[in-house]
Structure formats: structure tokens, C-alpha cells
Structure 1
Amino acid sequence: MPTLLITRAGYTKLQHEFNELWSNERPKVTKIVAWAASLGDRSENADYQYNKKRLREIDRRLRYLRSQLEQLRIVDYHPSQEGKIYFGARVYLKNFNGQSLAFRIVGPDEIFHNSDYISIDAPMARACLQKSVGESVQVIVSGELPLDWEITAITYYPSNNS
């Protein structure tokens, strides 16, 4: 089961998506479906078929968002987090080959469309939690040899707005 944590910015983004779908997108599609249905034979009416399917997709997403918004717990930055890796941290790592890696640890609902975000449930994020700069992190990925990474920096967004 995914962790039900989210940054304030992530929560705001989900709220915005819900409001946009509910207030703008759904009424537009509903109007098109009603218009297309008034034309008669629905079985061969592409406008009706497509927009009816779109309406079901919108309703499915609205149900999901409503459920998530009710369950999610917003985690804000606190100065006591400084120096250690917790939820919302941006983590910088380097391995013995000189490869660098940087990511921000966020909730599962925030990782889409953000290539440098990883879920708190990801093995790399779990391995990094509560570690400090200079400590080593070892992660085993899909049966391969363990990868050793050194934490080179940890930063936080003061109000989790990004």
C-alpha cells in the first residue's frame, strides 16, 4: 500500500486538477454528450461515443482525486529536519564510479511528470531516510549487485512549495 504523504505543493496541484476537471472539463464534455445524444442514433455517433468515454474517464479521475485528497497527509518542512534525509528532501549522491544522482523524496502522487522526484516508497528513498551527508547508502536493484552511494548534499524547500 502506498504511503499517504504529500508535500503542500503536491496537494495544491491535486486540488487544482480536481477543481479544473469538476468546474471546467466535466461540464464541457457533458454538454457535448447531451448535444450528440440529441442527434439521434447513438450507436454510430462518434461524438457521442468518444465524449461518453471521456466523461467516464473524467469521473474515474474525480473519484480517485476526491479519495486521495481526503486521505493524504500534508507534510511541511520543519527546521529540525536539517542535516538528515526526511520526506521532502532533495538528495544528492555520488558513487565510486563518479556517477551523480539527485532526486527529491515525495509522495507517490507527485512523481508523475517530474523526472527528478522519487516516491518515499522507492527502495532508494527508503535506504536514504534518516541518513546524513557523508554517509553511505547501499541499494539493491532487481537482483543486481548492490550499488553503494555516498550522500554529498541534502537540501529542503523551506515551505515545500516546489
Structure 2
Amino acid sequence: MSRWRAPQAASTAIITAEGQARLKAELDELWRVRRPEVVNALAAAAAEGDRSENAEYTYRKKQLGEIDRRVRYLSKRLPELKVAEAKPTDRGAIFFGAWFAIEDDDGRTQRLRIVGPDETDATLGWISIDSPLARAVLKKRVDDEFEAPLPSGVRRFIVIEVSYEAPAKTQDA
């Protein structure tokens, strides 16, 4: 089996200011904290002798490779990204950076936010601007119905809320 893979489609080079700050913090953390720790642990493992049977050495080499790969990616990607700082003049429609709520035909509600591909997070409900759902919901307003081609098939939704301010965090008792 070959290692060749078809090239991925280029992702949109846009990011929120918070997303850019998180990526810069991750790069700084990797370069200044994690990498030196792993290099020191790798040197200690190498000093133990025979490297061919040294699991710690092998593990640390792999870990260092993963850190270096992520550092290279972030170092190349960050300069390419354009920060979308300005909010749209029409705040009643859904554009990049919007928080919105949609309801499907079964009555299930989802709260989502459209963000750049480098800051997506399913647990927070942050979806990529490149996703089919985000593409389908762009420019929609409250009470607009739309269809989105999802992996499970085409689904119908209705927009029930649009906001450009972060929702208030709830306190768990």
C-alpha cells in the first residue's frame, strides 16, 4: 500500500482574534516549554545506553517529532491567516464569527458559531466556515429555513437566533 494521499482542498485562511491568540499561545507553549522538556528527557534516555531497546528513547523521539511537526505547521500557518476583527454592518444575518441557534425538523436545537478551520471545536459548537452547514447558513436571518447537505443526508433547519456577542457563561451549581 502506498503512502500517497490526494491533496486536501485549501482551507479558508481566516480566523477570529481569539483564535489567533490561542494559536500563538500554543506555538509559544510548544516552543518554550514542551519542546525543551522533551529534549531534556530524550537526552536522559539516550544516556542510558543501548538505544535500540530503549522504549523511553523511542517514545521521546516520536514525541519530539510530533512537537516539531506542529511547530512547523503553526509557524507557516499563522502568517497566512487573516484576522476578521470587524463585525458585519448587518448583524441580523449570519456571517463569519456569528453565534447562532438552529432547529431541525425533529425539534432539536443546536447553538453554533462560525469560525476559521484552524479553531473549530465540536465541544463548543464552533464549526468551520468551510463546512457544508456553515456554507448553507451564511446570510440567513432569524426564521429563515434552509437545507444543508450533511454526511447523513440533506437536512432542513430554521434559524432561531443570531448574535455577534459571546453568550453568557452559565454557572453550574
The structure richer in helix per residue is 1
Deviation digits for residues 84-107 of structure 1, max 9, x if unmatched? Answer: 111010111123432222210011
- What is the CA–CA distance in structure 2 between the aligned matches of 1:52 and 1:143, rounded to whole Å? 40
Deviation digits for residues 47-95 of structure 1, max 9, x if unmatched? Answer: 2111111111100010011111111111124251411111010111123
Q: Structure 2 regions of 5+ residues with no counterpart?
A: 1-9, 167-173
Q: TM-score, normalised by structure 2?
A: 0.83
Q: Given the superposition, is the C-alpha separation of residues 49 and 95 from structure 1 closer, same or farther in structure 2, using an over 3 Å criterion?
A: closer
- What is the CA–CA distance in structure 1 between the aligned matches of 2:13 and 2:75, rounded to whole Å? 14
Q: TM-score, normalised by structure 1?
A: 0.88
Assess if the C-alpha contact under 8 Å between 2:121 and 2:127 holds in 1. Answer: no
Q: How many residues align?
A: 157
Partner of 1:49: 58
State the 4+ residue runs in structure 1 displaced beyond 6 angstroms.
none
1:27 maps to amino acid: P
Corresponding residue SS for 2:49: coil
Partner of 1:129: 138
Determine what percentage of the aligned residue pairs are the same residue. 40
Partner of 2:96: 87
CA RMSD of aligned residues (A): 1.7
1:109-128 equivalent positions in 2, closer than 5 A: 109-112=118-121, 114-128=123-137
- What is the CA–CA distance in structure 1 between the aligned matches of 2:37 and 2:63, rounded to whole Å? 11
Q: Structure 1 regions of 5+ residues with no counterpart?
A: none
- What is the CA–CA distance in structure 2 between the aligned matches of 1:45 and 1:142, rounded to whole Å? 44
- What is the CA–CA distance in structure 2 between the aligned matches of 1:143 and 1:21, rounded to whole Å? 37
